[in-house]
Structure 1
Amino acid sequence: MRPRRIHITGAAGSGTTTLGRALAAATGAVHLDTDDVYWLPTDPPFREKRQIPDRLALLDDALGRTDRWLLAGSLIGWGDPLIPRFDLVVFLLIPPVLRMQRLRDREVERYGAETLAPGGAMHATHHAFLDWAEAYDTGTRVSRNLQAHEAWLSRLPCPVLRIEGDTTVEDRVRRVLSVRLGEGRAWQG
């Protein structure tokens, strides 16, 4: 049986949202992103966190509306009540240099190079975000880091599919769609 309720997680810039959207297009499942419930709508975005009970209520409602969904993003530190809902967790891990370049490119695409440049309205915020994201691979000073992710994954009761390296979206979709439940706890992608 194919998994119907999939959580896709990894570091910022690892491609969780991209994979979630691609899988939704391929399967017709509903795609949800943790950023949409984690952050309150602000301009510019990603400035004010929503309270944890409110995040959980929003996700509980959204996940309860369908039996086939893809939830992209991170739940570390706040989303454990959702764990029993997962049929499968997909963990994306890409080389740090590539991930950081993707984040830089994404930030420029979102906000514009001028806004992020020295003297720009978001220069300090942009660099604080990049510093936070870069600490994922090597540090423990941020709550969302590789060590914390690995510990969280090791406690999950459902199978975990690890997809490591610089792989295409198409390859990632193929790997996820090839998973059949009941074939063991973990796969190496």
Structure 2
Amino acid sequence: MKTCRILITGASGAGVTSLGRALTDALAISHHDTDDYFWRPTNPPYREMRDVGDRLRLMREVFLDRSDWVLSGSLDGWGDPIIPHLDAVVFLYVPTPIRLERLRVREARRFGADAVSPGGSMYQQAEEFIEWASHYDDGSREGRNLGRHQAWLATLSCRVLRLDGDRPLQDLVKEVCRTIR
């Protein structure tokens, strides 16, 4: 592979960002996350979406034309212009109960345990997010879901690697490195 342009994708809490960061450490290349382009910086975060054109422009300016990078996150419904840049896509799947527990831990770490506890300043937002994420497998909520992900993966012409995201992170990194070489 002359370039190494990889998208790591899956449900929220599947370990997509963790694998993206670990993979870029192993390969000594840059890591980018779709959330950094999708959302405007706000406090609290994740309140205002950027326009699609702005997301894509920022991605072009920052990394798309470089030869080596890893992008973690979802391009669902907006990122089709990124697809021709990809050499490989890694799809992580993790059962819902494990993902939801990971999300609760992540939200407490990100915002503070008090903020996401009942009565906390981020409680309502965190609970709404976890409720939305809990429906990824059944597809009963708007947005990203397993069925849409599977259908999208089937359309890709680049290499697609499907992995169990509940495996140890270093095992996943080794498997991706073996596959892309």
For the superposition of Structure 1 and Structure 2, which TM-score range results when normalised by the shorter chain? over 0.9
Q: Which amino acid is 2:20 matched to?
A: G
Match of 1:158 in 2: 158
TM-score relative to the length of structure 2: 0.95
**Distance in structure 2 (CA, Å) of the matches to 1:117 and 1:25:** 34
CA contact (8 A) 1:15 1:92 kept: yes
Match of 1:25 in 2: 25
Q: Percent identity?
A: 49
Match of 2:44 in 1: 44
Name the CA shift for 1:22/1:165 in 2 (closer, same or farther; >3 Å): closer
CA contact (8 A) 1:3 1:179 kept: no
Name the CA shift for 1:63/1:140 in 2 (closer, same or farther; >3 Å): farther
CA contact (8 A) 1:2 1:180 kept: no
Match of 1:69 in 2: 69
TM-score relative to the length of structure 1: 0.91
| RMSD, aligned α-carbons | 1.4
Gaps of 5+ in 1: 182-189
Gaps of 5+ in 2: none
Match of 2:114 in 1: 114
4+ residue runs of structure 1 moved beyond 4 angstroms?
Answer: none
Count of matched residue pairs:
181
CA contact (8 A) 2:15 2:165 kept: no
Q: Give CA-to-partner distance per residue, 1:30-87, whole Å, 9 cap, x none.
A: 1000010011001111111111100011112222452100000000000011100000
Comparing 139-148 with 104-113, greater Cα deviation is found at 139-148
Q: Which amino acid is 1:113 matched to?
A: A
Name the CA shift for 1:68/1:56 in 2 (closer, same or farther; >3 Å): same
